[in-house]
Amino acid sequence: MKKEFMEFMEQSTTVYQTAAETSRRLEQAGYERLEEKDMWNICPGDKKYVVRNDSSLVAFSIPQEDEGVKGFHMVCAHGDSPCFKLKENACMTVEDSYLKLNVENYGGMIKETWFDRPLSLAGRVVVRTEGLLLETRLVDMKKPLFVIPSLAVHMKRGGEKDGELNTQLHLLPLAGTSADKNILHRMIAKEVSADEKDVLGADLYLYPVQPPICMGLSGELIGAPRLDDLACVYCGLDALLEARPSDKVALLAVFDNEEVGSQTMQGAASDFLLSVLQRIADSLKLPLAPLLAQSFMVSADNAHALHPNYTDKADSTNRPVLNRGIVIKYHGAQKYTTSAFSGAYVKAICEQEKIPYQTYHNRSDVAGGSTLGNIALTNVSVPAADIGLPQLAMHSALETMGADDLEHMASFMTAFYQA
């Protein structure tokens, strides 16, 4: 499983590549792609998936006729990760000697971790094929092309302290010593086999050229960019493909834009998931409300593990650590969806299947993060729990998790789909 996961991570360099790689694996397992613009005719036993905006995906497996359909068991995760995004007219020169890129923040990364790492570029471009006809093409340059050089320690002397890093001032990536500001556009056009003048749009992101690696004296740690939340995406996919059919529709939703608040046409705040559920119900000639009343959602996004050097940052009695099982997340103000009931349901599955679990609360004086579960519930209101894999250095260019927890999460999600 670890090796498969590493391969998945290496392909999934941006949210677009993640949706494509997930689609490829679904197709390989016999899932058929639906288009939102078509009429759907879904039958018992069907395995289908649908993609919106090339970046969000919902896949589902319908129970066989004899099982009936008694609701949806849904796993929701996100395919996007914080990084730097290229602006329009991104190439700029410095004193006629350097070429650098104008970028902006996508989400909240730990900026200093992006210094002095080989970076590449991936995402999608939109190509005009004829007249007003536009076509999306994915692009992943794969090789190291850029670096964000840090300032030498000697140049910080003289009382100047490390202030807050400003992307516009301190983090624009160096692209070489060419003075040709069109060179990147040309490279990208060539990469997608299009004429330069027809490449009219791009959603391109920088990513660290860093394959996932095993660390720890016994290889028990995994280090990789984007573990938040691709580890949960991978486990959800693995579970969907492994699970035995039950009387629930097994569904995996991978949303874009969690890192920027989810309020987009393909984010968790959109009608994407609800629309898919409605269309499944219509197709099966079942009313949606009774199905939803028997459904359950797991919002799967990674959790903060106890930090070995900052142990005071963890809550007093809820201190998840690496390799000790999945994390159930609680929050009094309901940024996490877990309730006494839904948390108990997750625990009951874990105990029945002998899967280790841990619990997480923020320290009461720490704001903590948020995720997509409670946002998705505003459209699809079902009992839900927030869970995740314990990890360190969330939003760093190299995050760390426990290798055993991958198995724990995949086993949990499989049992959830079969419950």
CA 141 from chain centre, in angstroms, equals 20
Q: Which of 301, 386, 399, 405 binds Co ion (CB under 5 A)?
A: 301
| Number of residues in contact with Co ion under rule CB under 5 A | 3
Nearest approach in angstroms of CB 245 to Co ion is 30
Nearer to Co ion, 46 or 258 (CB): 258
Nearest approach in angstroms of CB 80 to Co ion is 9
Contact 239, 416 (CB under 8 A): yes
Nearer to Co ion, 380 or 389 (CB): 389
CA 178 from chain centre, in angstroms, equals 35
210: helix, strand or coil: coil
Rounded CA separation 237/253 (Å): 10
Nearest approach in angstroms of CB 329 to Co ion is 11
Rounded CA separation 72/32 (Å): 19
Compute CA distances 174 → 99, 131, 204, 331, 395, whole Å. 6, 36, 16, 42, 22
Q: Does 256 bind Co ion (CB under 5 A)?
A: no
Nearest approach in angstroms of CB 174 to Co ion is 29
Nearer to Co ion, 145 or 303 (CB): 303
- For residues 173 to 212, the per-residue mask of contacts with Co ion, x marking binding by CB under 5 A and - elsewhere, is ----------------------------------------
Nearest approach in angstroms of CB 168 to Co ion is 25
124 beta partners:
138, 203
Rounded CA separation 58/13 (Å): 19
Nearest approach in angstroms of CB 243 to Co ion is 23
Question: Cis omega (within 30 of 0) on the bond before 229?
Answer: yes
Nearer to Co ion, 140 or 386 (CB): 386
Helices (H), 171-250: 183-191, 227-242
Q: What angle do CA 28, 31, 37 make, to 5 degrees?
A: 130
Nearer to Co ion, 141 or 300 (CB): 300
78: helix, strand or coil: strand
Compute CA distances 124 → 121, 128, 192, 200, 318, whole Å. 10, 13, 10, 11, 41
Nearer to Co ion, 142 or 307 (CB): 307
Closest CA to 144 of 211, 214, 203: 211
Q: Which of 21, 80, 228, 238 binds Co ion (CB under 5 A)?
A: 228
Site stretch for Co ion (CB under 5 A), options 7-15, 160-168, 216-224, 295-303: 295-303
Nearest approach in angstroms of CB 298 to Co ion is 14
DSSP summary character for residue 147:
B
Nearer to Co ion, 177 or 334 (CB): 334
CB-count exposure of residue 237 (10 Å: 0-12, 13-18, 19+): buried
- For residues 89 to 118, the per-residue mask of contacts with Co ion, x marking binding by CB under 5 A and - elsewhere, is ------------------------------
Nearer to Co ion, 21 or 229 (CB): 229
Nearest approach in angstroms of CB 388 to Co ion is 8
Nearest approach in angstroms of CB 409 to Co ion is 14
Amino acid at 27: E
Q: Which of 80, 229, 256, 399 binds Co ion (CB under 5 A)?
A: 229
Contact 231, 300 (CB under 8 A): no
Nearer to Co ion, 69 or 385 (CB): 385
* Contacting residues toward Co ion, per CB under 5 A: 228-229, 301
